[in-house]
A and B are shown apart, each in its own frame.
Chain A
């Protein structure tokens, strides 16, 4: 490029610096989000892999109450698929801190597999010594040297301990329990409440008789060593090996325990490393990132291209005479286009470089660290990939080139003499059909003229409509998403779940006393048997699922099984009902068979009788007493939970009402706990709404303002002619308002539809595997979006029209 072309380029940048900066920033945002989120996803995988490697994480965890003997373990160890095997024990206890009961999962500290990470202190080696998980310790201020009394209260607790007094000697993390949410620690089947804390004891603290007959064992297979845990390859390989190990266990264990293979296969569970409960939550977060990555990046790229298009259209339009002069002087189309291409590509190159730097140095560490608020996975492992950099560079450069070409080619391909005398000299299409429209026919010539102007410059019109569509769609989709998320909780507690508190109690508790207390306070309540387990459908991974067993029609006043697929709940006597979140995540429908593994590791098959509407955050199934007793022949229906409608009484007051009653294992403010869970989603939704609103305004500022300004300039001479002939400034402004009104209405109609669809799709990306959110067309969202976008469009028109104030009658073209 010659020196003069560089001067021209820098003049263009100088005169349109804000637009240049806008192109650069939008491209920077798109690139930053692309690499930032993409690399975050990979970085999370690396962090997890590192954590699993350092923690000698098992590939499979086998659990059962049948008791695996040393002989079984030894024989299994000979298999080509098992390179390391180590038995362990698991039991449940509760303890009190400041008079509050907490549930603990107590594990045998193994020596080879599932090693503790980040140990602060000395690992337990004697009777009465314990290590506790760092998250709970931090939350409750537990320090080394603190004493805990681990108590037991249940009949299902085969593993005995030699003492109940323990001193905390170490605070640790393990790769097995990296989630900071309690439900990722599982449920205590001693109390049917969430496990609050994980405690590790050395073998010295366990009864001698438990050794030689273990609750479970960890398995490591070297065949999976070189495969990344979160990869599809791992999932496939692991699943194949699991089948082999299952066969092996069935054959080996049935030989040593006198039990039929078929029955045995239902008495234990194998959890794969990549189906770990904490990892399940992390995978949900990762899936949300993957979904958001493409939608957000696409959005930013489209907006940056629109900004690029409108800016270039305006520059080229403003320089039409100069372009005509260049043509007349013999410049080729390529040479004429070159400064505009370099202008945009320069903004794009700087934008991509800035974006990649921001993605790597800002977005990736911030996002990974924000995920670490919910999961503990050690040091941040930065990730980058040169091929991603090359891809985004080439993609952006190509798209920007294509956009510039479209924006400039039309004008640069016109004949020099046409450009030199201005566009008006050109033969234009007349659009007489517009005047024949019934809605237009009766209008004044002034209004008709404004209406026809909407069709004069197709590219301006299309770009303006796209700008309005984008602006409207962003607001409507943001609000559709936010209002639906916000409504999901309230609609559930209004239409489906009529209880806000729960009381879990153990067998020894006096049900009568609890009922008396409930009656005294005038609370409405119902009882049920509450249990839990893992479910598998169509060979998908195990999912933690809560279960209500119902023996009282009164129950359905507290949990309305709003029918989605299936008969009414009264008819579902021999099967189960699953909530919609479960059905959607697992593609389950009425008639499917669901495999349920109970807390003791026994497998049961249930037929799905119905799917019910539900908007809270868990997998829940409901079955009748008859179904329960048919399947669990050894268990009697004994209620262990009250569902209470307290009209949101203060939880502290509620707790006080039951403080003196023995045997209550857990009191829960169900509404508040769900509200807190939803709040984390609403926080993200609020951030997305803020980003969308900001984008919507930026879209209006950088696209609509550019195009309206271009239109006002284009119409300058016509405005002045009308003013000279006696039209007031206010009247000629109407000309633009009519144009804006028509284009805005078209844009808003399409934008509202696009926004609603996009809102529903965005909401899908928020849907994690355990939640089904309300996802309906939202009229207030549409109305607010329409109003906001309409106002924004007219504000931009008003700003562009300020230029009319600067127009003087003496500015009339006299060429």
Chain B
């Protein structure tokens, strides 16, 4: 069966400027992301992996090139259109969870659910990440792993097509990381596309495809015919 392309990236360039100093980060990146796929973007610090994630998510605009999301160009969209793109299509997960500290776990989901017409049920969503007993807990009352699971539930509450995760386990220990990755496993199983940026090669074993970046270009794409389960991971 032919895979359906969700995102198509062509000749992507991005340079950051700080005063008179110009730092080219992406120097012509090309790759596609298929629907329902689990992709890991791997690379060293400064290789441009987070920048790609931000451009796909509409947080930053590229200098040149093309990103087609469901065949629609998202480069050079207006701020309003990018906001709509993020609201309707994207769920975000951050390394440091970025939960709203004054809201409970459930409220952290509800505040995002209020953006869409048919969101998932927040309590069900927390149950699905194993936090049914932490609904009324505040972020400061949760462990790192629990916070990250709330963050995943928050990303899923809008029922997005694509989830972008930037170093989601970098702040977690091994066992907690596995718990989080198990949630990811279920996300992909339910048909959501997942793009994870990481420098942890172990996670890549779970992915369908690994895109390796070096010096702002894709220098290697690895197809993983037999992705393993999170429980089987060792590091």
Could you list which residues of chain A lie within 8 angstroms of chain B, going by C-beta atoms?
424-428, 430-431, 444-446, 448-449, 452-453, 456, 717-718, 721-729, 808-810, 812-815
Contacts and interface: CB of A to CB of B under 8 A. Distances in A.
B15 interface: no
Interface in B125-171: 138, 140, 154, 158, 166-167
A727 B83 contact: yes
The 10 closest A-B pairs by CB, nearest first: A726-B87, A809-B59, A445-B110, A445-B111, A810-B60, A424-B101, A725-B112, A726-B86, A721-B98, A726-B115
Nearest to B157: A725
B84 to A, nearest CB: 8
Given A808-B59, A812-B94, A812-B98, A445 B115 contact: no
Contacts of B86: 724-726, 809
Interface residues of B, number: 37
B167 to A, nearest CB: 8
B94 to A, nearest CB: 7
Contacts of B87: 725-727
B100 A718 contact: yes
A727 B115 contact: yes
Contact of A446 (B101, B114, B138): B114
B208 interface: no
Contacts of B60: 808-810
A639 to B, nearest CB: 80
B188 interface: no
B103 A449 contact: yes
Contact of A449 (B83, B96, B100): B100
Contacts of B107: 445, 448-449
27 contacts: A428-B102, A428-B140, A445-B107, A445-B111, A445-B114, A449-B103, A449-B111, A456-B102, A717-B98, A718-B100, A725-B86, A725-B112, A725-B158, A726-B83, A726-B84, A726-B87, A726-B88, A726-B115, A728-B83, A729-B79, A808-B60, A809-B54, A809-B58, A809-B86, A814-B50, A814-B94, A814-B95
Interface string B167-203: 1000000000000000000000000000000000000
Contacts of B110: 445
Contact of A726 (B54, B140, B158): B158
A813 B54 contact: no
A576 B22 CA distance: 93
B94 A425 contact: no
Which residue among B102, B138, B166, B167 has the maximum number of chain A CB atoms within 10 Å of its CB?
B102
A674 B151 CA distance: 74
A673 to B, nearest CB: 65
B83 A453 contact: no
A722 B80 CA distance: 14
A810 B54 contact: yes
Contact of A426 (B98, B114, B140, B166): B140
Contacts of A426: 140
A808 B98 CA distance: 15
Given A446-B111, A814-B166, A721 B59 contact: no
Given A426-B140, A726-B87, A813 B111 contact: no
A808 B107 CA distance: 24
B38 interface: no
B92 to A, nearest CB: 5
Nearest to A456: B102
Given A449-B111, A814-B166, A815-B96, A724 B102 contact: no
B199 to A, nearest CB: 13
A721 to B, nearest CB: 5
B57 interface: yes
B160 to A, nearest CB: 10
A425 B167 CA distance: 20
Contacts of A448: 107
B123 to A, nearest CB: 13
A810 B59 contact: yes
A362 B141 CA distance: 61
A425 B147 CA distance: 12
Interface of B: 50, 54, 57-60, 79-80, 83-84, 86-88, 90, 92, 94-96, 98-103, 107, 110-112, 114-116, 138, 140, 154, 158, 166-167
Nearest to B115: A726
A444 B90 CA distance: 22
Contact of A728 (B80, B90, B111, B114): B80
A445 B87 CA distance: 17
Contacts of A431: 102
Contacts of B95: 814
Contacts of A729: 79, 83
A168 to B, nearest CB: 82
Contacts of B54: 809-810
A456 B167 CA distance: 30
Nearest to B55: A810
A721 B84 CA distance: 15
A181 to B, nearest CB: 64
Contacts of B112: 725-726
B71 to A, nearest CB: 21
Contacts of B115: 725-727
A722 B111 contact: yes
A726 B90 CA distance: 9
A721 B100 CA distance: 8
Nearest to A728: B83
Contacts of A723: 83
A425 B100 contact: no
Contacts of A815: 96
B82 to A, nearest CB: 8
Nearest to A431: B102
A806 to B, nearest CB: 13
Contacts of A814: 50, 94-96, 166-167
A425 B79 contact: no
A808 B79 CA distance: 10
Given A444-B114, A445-B107, A812-B94, A724 B59 contact: yes
Contacts of A430: 102, 138
Contacts of A813: 96, 98
A364 B42 CA distance: 76
Contacts of B154: 725
Contacts of B140: 425-428
Which residue among A430, A722, A723 has the maximum number of chain B CB atoms within 10 Å of its CB?
A430
Nearest to B60: A810
A420 to B, nearest CB: 14
B166 to A, nearest CB: 7
Nearest to A426: B140
Given A445-B110, A729-B83, 4 more contacts: A426-B140, A430-B138, A718-B101, A812-B98
Contacts of B158: 725-726
Which residue among A425, A456, A813, A814 has the maximum number of chain B CB atoms within 10 Å of its CB?
A814
Nearest to A444: B114
Which residue among A449, A453, A456, A813 has the maximum number of chain B CB atoms within 10 Å of its CB?
A449
B201 to A, nearest CB: 21
A336 to B, nearest CB: 25
A718 to B, nearest CB: 5
B184 to A, nearest CB: 19
B5 to A, nearest CB: 23
Which residue among B92, B94, B99, B100 has the maximum number of chain A CB atoms within 10 Å of its CB?
B100
A728 B115 CA distance: 10
B57 to A, nearest CB: 7
A724 B98 CA distance: 11
A725 B111 CA distance: 10
A39 B158 CA distance: 71
Nearest to B136: A432
Contact of B103 (A424, A425, A445, A724): A445
Contacts of A444: 114
